[in-house]
Amino acid sequence: MAFGRWLIVIGIVLVVAGLLLPWLQKSGLGRLPGDFIFERGGTRFYLPLATCVLISAVLSLLFWLFRR
Give DSSP secondary structure letters for 2-34: HHHHHHHHHHHHHHHHHHHHHHHHHTTTT-STT
59 or 43, greater pLDDT = 43
Per-residue pLDDT at 15: 92
- pLDDT at residue 49 above 90? yes
Q: How is residue 58 annotated by DSSP?
A: H
Contact (Cβ atoms closer than 8 angstroms) between residue 35 and residue 49: yes
pLDDT tens, residue by residue, 18-42: 888 888 778 887 788 999 999 999 9
Question: pLDDT tier at 1 (50, 70, 90 boundaries)?
Answer: low
